């Protein structure tokens, strides 16, 4: 699953307007509707992230962390991520559902892997997820309800080639975090899960060869292209109260390509 390289924070138009004082801009904020739970979605301006936002919006006040909008926050920068989390909590007072859909990637064989690029992928894909979960989990614990959902990838079980080492490694780290956080937070009413899409047709995956899409779809049980909403529908289900017992699990939404 590839869905772009979100680096920045913005506010969803369905909720409010947030402004980073470091960058200037408007500061008016429409207050959160307290009848709705608050969902924070990184990568919400991407294809898969946007589909997740659309699915969650009817039942949640959604705040999107991404590369466009009124607040510019680098998801690869520790201080910026912590500042972003504080701003969300200052404006909304809570986060009930946290979805980490943002991802960046680098391609190349082993001998061409550069440490700086490797670290950037891990910072955005893994460390931002950790920092934001650290920021939002205490409030979830206090309210006795929380959902943490990481978007990973079926490439963890079936890498298409050797060109995506840093990306696949980052998704494996998130799967490990899912299991460990589930064990640690379950008693507090916080369910932690992951969703692993397959190769999905998005602007970010346009660099993949048409033959790769054709071959992937030919081996899927569904024999049809995957859409961003295939992932979003699973995320919306996991955000519900009734999905609590799925904590610790990674659901593979790839049309039956990887069966495990």
Place of tokens 């699990």: 249
For residue 149, the cross-strand partners are: 99, 193
Residue 196 near residue 152, CB atoms below 8 Å: yes
* Rg of the chain in Å (alpha carbons): 17
Count of all residues that appear for the chain in the document:
260
Asked if residue 242 has pLDDT above 60, the reply is: yes
Residue 254 near residue 154, CB atoms below 8 Å: yes
What domains are defined for the chain? 37-253 (3.40.50.720)
Establish whether 167 is a catalytic residue.
yes
Residue 49 near residue 64, CB atoms below 8 Å: yes
pLDDT tens digits for 108-158?
999 999 999 999 999 999 999 999 999 999 999 999 999 999 999 999 999
Q: Which one of the listed residues 167, 168, 171, 205 is annotated catalytic?
A: 167
Q: Between residues 50 and 257, which one has the greater pLDDT?
A: 50
Straight-line distance from the first to the last Cα atom of the chain, in angstroms, rounded to the nearest whole number:
17
Distant-in-sequence, close-in-space partners of 230: CB < 8 Å, separation ≥ 6: 197, 200, 253, 255
pLDDT tens digits for 76-120?
999 999 999 999 999 999 999 999 999 998 989 999 999 999 999
Of the candidates 67, 73, 69, the one whose C-alpha atom is nearest the C-alpha of residue 46 is: 67
> Nearest-5° angle of CA 44, CA 6, CA 38?
35
User: Cα separation of 88 and 75, whole Å?
Assistant: 14
Can you give the pTM of this predicted structure? 0.86
């Amino acid at each position: 699953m590839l869905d772009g390289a979100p680096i920045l924070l913005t506010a969803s138009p369905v909720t409010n307007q947030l402004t980073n004082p470091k960058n200037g801009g408007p500061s008016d904020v429409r207050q959160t509707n307290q009848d709705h739970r608050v969902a924070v979605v990184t990568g919400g301006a991407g294809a898969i992230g946007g589909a997740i936002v659309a699915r969650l919006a009817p039942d949640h006040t959604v705040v999107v962390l991404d590369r466009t909008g009124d607040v510019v926050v680098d998801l690869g920068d520790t201080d910026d991520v912590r500042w972003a989390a504080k701003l969300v909590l200052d404006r909304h007072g809570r986060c009930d559902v946290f979805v980490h859909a943002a991802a960046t990637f680098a391609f190349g064989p082993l001998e061409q892997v550069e440490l700086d690029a490797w670290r950037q992928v891990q910072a955005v894909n893994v460390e931002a997820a950790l920092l934001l979960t650290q920021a939002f989990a205490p409030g979830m614990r206090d309210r006795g309800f929380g959902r943490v959902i990481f978007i990973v990838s079926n490439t963890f079980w079936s890498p298409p080639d050797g060109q995506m080492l840093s990306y696949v490694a980052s998704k494996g780290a998130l799967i490990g975090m899912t299991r460990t956080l589930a064990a640690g937070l379950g008693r507090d009413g916080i369910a932690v899960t992951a969703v692993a899409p397959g190769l999905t047709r998005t602007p970010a995956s346009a660099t993949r060869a048409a033959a790769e899409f054709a071959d992937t779809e030919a081996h899927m049980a569904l024999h049809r292209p995957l859409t961003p909403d295939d992932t979003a529908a699973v995320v919306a289900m996991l955000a519900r109260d009734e999905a609590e017992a799925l904590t610790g699990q990674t659901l593979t939404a790839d049309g039956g390509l990887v069966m495990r």
